[in-house]
Structure 1
């Protein structure tokens, strides 16, 4: 920035102005930032790890390590369609000439993503030679997402239908990939026309998961996994991935972790992110598929719903959208209640009846209207559901 200092002197009623002198303060250069981003994209496209590393400024040393890690991620993930467009300056320029700018990033996983994901990220720049170097990348903090491949070195496991990236050890990536592969088989028992592909992302912590999804800290602290767009998805065309919260899933038994994965894969298979369905049907159907062949008794699979009914009484209505707030009280009980409702529909009208209801609802049909023309209208479903919960809460 150029600073101007004007000094007004009064002499005999006349005002004199001293000449303005330019400041030596460092300035942001959008042109140099755009050039650095173009060099970043070119190095990624050419899979040139050395060129990426050379984009790091002399200081801090961690910048070179990060760019080296990014080069490895690009190769193992087989990224293509990478783009980076400078948007604006973010904050002031530091005395050492370093500063941050916002860039619109695009990226695609070859063989898995049909369209590129896009998100605005903060890029930290610092003087390097005659231009700018790239120090690192950060989330913007306003709902935009920082992709996992820009954060840290990733462990990657891939097959024809499954790609898993983990900010952690390779054995964890292998384990998650095996879970996803089994999950595809579970989903196909009810939805045989679907077979993937699936991308699963596992950040290092729950806090990193929030940042990867562009949500407020703590939003997904108690959630085991979520299916969501990989980028900002403003046009509704970007890829959808499964994001796993290791802080929760690491504490689950193998069977529990498998149910979580299978549940999320139902959302992927039915494009649930972009096909709005009433929340109880959305979550209940996913749990129905995931738990379809579970040998566990009701006092286990419905344990939290039973406990909530004993404590607060049997709910008067099926769970609403607000009941599935990620920070809501008794969230797991709401999932179990939704699953019970779907199980009752399958008991009355058969599994194909439940599947038909879900697919018609996801195609835009009214759930209430669809149930009205089935063997179990909504009022009858709610009554049967409440009676079942009441019986379970008294006998378990």
Structure 2
């Protein structure tokens, strides 16, 4: 919670009240007329009104909960139809996605107060019924505008906070028993993402049949919009087609975990590549990789193993970037480290392929069931070396030699 600027406002307001009290006391002494306090509207313009803002947020919460788009539109400034459309879109999104446990509570004022326009921080909670194990909770920014004797709402999101996509305005929302897809884009784009999500679920369940919760996919309009949705520093996801993370930025086991797509990269992929990406991210959702202590190469390699398991591509083509890297720089000495997966590295594709080859090799050594068992053991906190020894009868050194040998053979 950010309170630096609001504390200054509160201090200034207290000083004004003290001065006003002093003036009133003097007037009472010199004037026989009884003192009458001015109505609240007479003091507007001095700064934000927390009470009126809290009422506006309460009214928006009620509109979302009841599915009343007209009530939401009425909360916008009368001369701002775009704001009315955004608020009505939020209600429509909530209805289509079956949002539950929604609340929006005023916290404090934020930033500058400019001609009656200002922002408030608000605590928001929400849950996509049937998909999220628990509500998401985040502090969001709400745009506000003083209008006569009320405070109007202009929009939700922005600033240095998570900006939930469904709260941003009208989206294409498609829901089935297994998938929930929210797209800020055209109908054709939404249908394409629906198809990829629908195909990803059975791909994952062929390897992990116990996964039944389903998949939530969120697609902002651009990578810049993705940065705002996740409150990420600019450039962090420029090379990433999609990322699996919590909807509210929380690092807890029961946080709602969704797939967030970077359309600037994803839309440039061929259909097979796009499907592999979606199935990869769906595997992360199914395994709870978001909070796993497993080595990053195992998390990413296993997800690629699941996604590529039934894709009929030649091995050298699927590992083309890893092969090129070996031919250029020589064999790696160790399995990929966490730093190798930095999203800004120029060799990120080769790193993912190397991790996939390692996971694929584990399945070849002990069978798919052994790979899944190893993954589960390490995910539960068992050291990789101990799990590798007990599940596949291999030492890390022996396995690394096998993996390097495979890379060498592929590089010719």
Q: What SS does structure 2 have at the residue aligned with 1:92?
A: strand
**Aligned residues of 1:156 and 1:170 also touching (Cα < 8 A):** no
Q: 1:200 to 1:340 in 2, by over 3 A?
A: same
2:153 and 2:365 map into 1 onto residues whose CA distance is 61
1:92 and 1:250 map into 2 onto residues whose CA distance is 38
How far did residue 365 of structure 1 move? Answer: 0.8
**Aligned residues of 1:184 and 1:195 also touching (Cα < 8 A):** no
Structure 2 match to 1:53: 73
Q: What SS does structure 2 have at the residue aligned with 1:237?
A: coil
**Deviation above 3 Å: which 4+ runs of structure 1?**
1-4, 22-25
Q: What SS does structure 2 have at the residue aligned with 1:75?
A: helix
Structure 2 match to 1:310: 327
**Are 1:97 and 2:116 an aligned pair?**
yes
1:211 and 1:37 map into 2 onto residues whose CA distance is 21
**Are 1:369 and 2:389 an aligned pair?**
no
Which of 179, 199, 204 pairs up with 2:196?
179
Structure 2 match to 1:378: 396
Kindly provide the CA deviation profile for residues 359-384 of structure 1, in whole angstroms up to 9, marking residues without a partner as x: 11111111111113333211011111
Structure 2 match to 1:163: 180
1:25 and 1:43 map into 2 onto residues whose CA distance is 28
Q: 1:41 to 1:344 in 2, by over 3 A?
A: same
Which of 100, 125, 130 pairs up with 2:144?
125
Q: What SS does structure 1 have at the residue aligned with 2:290?
A: coil
2:154 and 2:297 map into 1 onto residues whose CA distance is 45
**Are 1:393 and 2:411 an aligned pair?**
yes
1:57 and 1:88 map into 2 onto residues whose CA distance is 21
1:250 and 1:389 map into 2 onto residues whose CA distance is 30
Structure 1 match to 2:60: 40
Q: Which runs of 5+ in 1 are unaligned?
A: 5-21
**Aligned residues of 2:236 and 2:343 also touching (Cα < 8 A):** yes
**Aligned residues of 1:57 and 1:133 also touching (Cα < 8 A):** yes
1:266 and 1:136 map into 2 onto residues whose CA distance is 34
Q: What SS does structure 2 have at the residue aligned with 1:281?
A: helix
1:351 and 1:24 map into 2 onto residues whose CA distance is 68
Structure 2 match to 1:208: 225
Kindly provide the CA deviation profile for residues 134-154 of structure 1, in whole angstroms up to 9, marking residues without a partner as x: 01122231xx31111122311
RMSD of aligned residue pairs (Cα, Å): 1.8
Structure 1 match to 2:246: 229
**Aligned residues of 1:348 and 1:376 also touching (Cα < 8 A):** no
Structure 2 match to 1:322: 339
How far did residue 328 of structure 1 move? Answer: 1.6
Kindly provide the CA deviation profile for residues 284-311 of structure 1, in whole angstroms up to 9, marking residues without a partner as x: 0111111112221122100000111111
**Aligned residues of 2:171 and 2:184 also touching (Cα < 8 A):** yes
2:127 and 2:190 map into 1 onto residues whose CA distance is 20
Which of 89, 104, 115 pairs up with 1:84?
104
How far did residue 388 of structure 1 move? Answer: 1.4
Which structure dedicates a bigger proportion of its chain to helix? 2
TM-score (norm 1): 0.90
**Aligned residues of 1:26 and 1:93 also touching (Cα < 8 A):** no
Q: Which runs of 5+ in 2 are unaligned?
A: 1-11, 17-41
